[in-house]
Structure 1
Amino acid sequence: MTIDVWMQHPTRRFLAHEMFASLRRWTGQEVPAEEIPLAATVTVMDQAQVDVGLLSAWQGPHGNVLISNDEVVEWVAARPDRFAGLATVDLARPMEAVRELRRCVIDLGFRGLRVVPWLWELAPTDRRYYPLYAACVELGVPFCTQVGHTGPLQPSETGRPIPYIDQVALDFPELTIVCGHVGYPWTEEMIALARKHANVYIDTSAYTSARLPQELIAFLHTRTGSCKVLFGTNYPMIKPDHALADLDDLGLNAETRQLYLHDNAARIFGLATSPTESQ
């Protein structure tokens, strides 16, 4: 079984946003003329034998909702055997954001919160995040975020693991933090934080197996690292079959491979064989 911890079923407004121009240039992808059917995302998962995907909602400043929580709810309801949801919130309205997170987790069954700091140009230590961290702890769900440089045309400063993730983990030791995109070019900092903090994890979204930094591969081969790294794609930017194509070259033993592809994510997000089985 494989769980993809960072993917999107993309709306046209998500794919067409100007900040993703650099990614469209790199990948050769074009904005589709019509909305992509959910079945198309399921098909690319099937091609790579990815069983479950955590679908991210996306919201940025000024009411810029690229993928709404309610859209994610519809997709999860359509295929509860294949998908679970990660919520988005409006950082500019902290109390509304907490209420929305509670709605998504308690009423809708979402498995966590994802905030992409570069969308807001607000580092994770900004005061507007802190009520959400407390709510995540109370609700027992992870806070998921992005670390490292930005591929989209936005500043990269908010993606520095040190000092930002380090400080949040110190302030909220009970908070589970899942850091996507491996932290490059600060990957060693990200690994140091995963070693230092019991509840800090790394996901490999936005990187194929062939492009994973060597220091992260070495970490995966350690006893600590095998329990700290999760598989992700950032689909549609990278398709799962492409992300997994060179997995054998990483030299992972059977236990580490199982942890990386499935068990770590199942434990952290409360997923069983399928999302419906864990409810």
Structure 2
Amino acid sequence: MTIDVWMQHPTVRFSQHEMFDSLRRWTGQQALSAELPIELTLAAMDQAEVGFGLLSAWHGPREGAMISNDEVAEWVRAHPGRFAGLAAVDLAQPMRAVRELRRCIGDLGFKGLRVVPWLWEAAPTDRRYYPLYATCIDLGVPFCTQVGHTGPLRPSETGRPIPYIDQVALDFPELTIVAGHIGYPWTEEMVAVARKHENVYIDTSAYTSRRIPGELIAYMKSGSGRRKVLFGTNYPMIGHASALEGLDDLGLDAETRELYLHGNATRVFGLAHKD
């Protein structure tokens, strides 16, 4: 069963935000004018035989909850066999953020935390993250983030794997870090950081199979790298069928392909009951 580790079910307030103008220009998608039923997202998954997805909440410094934790929890409750949640918190209020993360994991059953650095214009080494890292370790859940350039209309510097992800992994070696969007144009940096740190992983969200850089494909085929790369889409930016098109051309052996599409996600996010 294929697992998507980075996807959103978009709300109107998320979809209409001006920072996504560039993505709409690239993809030809239109901003929503009405809320969409969760069944449309399920249908997109079914079309590509994606059995399970990690739905992200989104919280911004000025915008507040663009996709709230409670909205994600409602979709998960409606379809517990298809979804789990990733929490979003207010980075500007660290103690409130820690309490919200504990609520999401303990009460709502979420599987991790996601903070998008460019949204906050704060690199992962910013001191406001550090209580959250300690809490993720305490709760036994991954910290998920974005690496690489920024498609939305925000600065890209916060997405550098070196020094930011490297330094966090040095400061918190017990922290599981899942770095989404592969790190382009710093993909080699991201691979180097994943090689160096036992608990650092990469997901391929926001890239179709045909656009995955060669250096990451080579890493996926290596003895250690095959256990370090996870499939993601960044849906609805990229549909599941589009993201998987061309997968056969990557030359992955059967074991590596299974780990990429399923096995690594089940292990990293504690989804061992998914088969």
TM-score (norm 1): 0.97
Q: What's the offset of the Cα at 1:63?
A: 4.9
What does the per-residue CA deviation read over 1:188-235, in whole Å, with 9 as the maximum and x for residues that have no partner?
000000000000000000000000001000111101110000000000
Q: Aligned partner of 1:263: which letter?
A: G
- Separation (CA, whole Å) in 2 of partners of 1:136 and 1:220: 26
- Separation (CA, whole Å) in 1 of partners of 2:186 and 2:33: 38
1:2 correspondence with 2:23: no
Q: Aligned partner of 1:90: which letter?
A: D
1:117 correspondence with 2:114: no
Match of 2:198 in 1: 198
Q: What's the offset of the Cα at 1:109?
A: 0.3
Q: Aligned partner of 2:237: which letter?
A: M
User: SS state of the match for residue 44, structure 1?
Assistant: helix
Q: What's the offset of the Cα at 1:34?
A: 1.2
The number of residue pairs the alignment matches comes to 275
Q: What's the offset of the Cα at 1:65?
A: 1.4
User: SS state of the match for residue 50, structure 2?
Assistant: coil
- Separation (CA, whole Å) in 2 of partners of 1:227 and 1:67: 31
- Separation (CA, whole Å) in 2 of partners of 1:33 and 1:129: 34
| Overall identity of the aligned pairs, in % | 75
TM-score (norm 2): 0.99
- Separation (CA, whole Å) in 1 of partners of 2:273 and 2:44: 19
- Separation (CA, whole Å) in 2 of partners of 1:244 and 1:124: 30
- Separation (CA, whole Å) in 2 of partners of 1:101 and 1:65: 14
Match of 2:208 in 1: 208
User: SS state of the match for residue 248, structure 1?
Assistant: helix
Q: What's the offset of the Cα at 1:36?
A: 0.9
What does the per-residue CA deviation read over 1:86-132, in whole Å, with 9 as the maximum and x for residues that have no partner?
00000000000000000000111000000000000000000000000
Within-5 A mapping of 1:181-196: 181-196=181-196
1:103 correspondence with 2:126: no
- Separation (CA, whole Å) in 1 of partners of 2:210 and 2:71: 33
User: Hey, which bits of structure 1, 4+ residues long, moved more than 3 A?
Assistant: none
Unaligned regions of 5+ residues in structure 1, if any? Answer: none
Match of 1:42 in 2: 42
Match of 1:245 in 2: 245
User: SS state of the match for residue 258, structure 2?
Assistant: helix
1:161 correspondence with 2:167: no
- Separation (CA, whole Å) in 2 of partners of 1:273 and 1:258: 16
Root-mean-square deviation (CA), in Å? 0.9
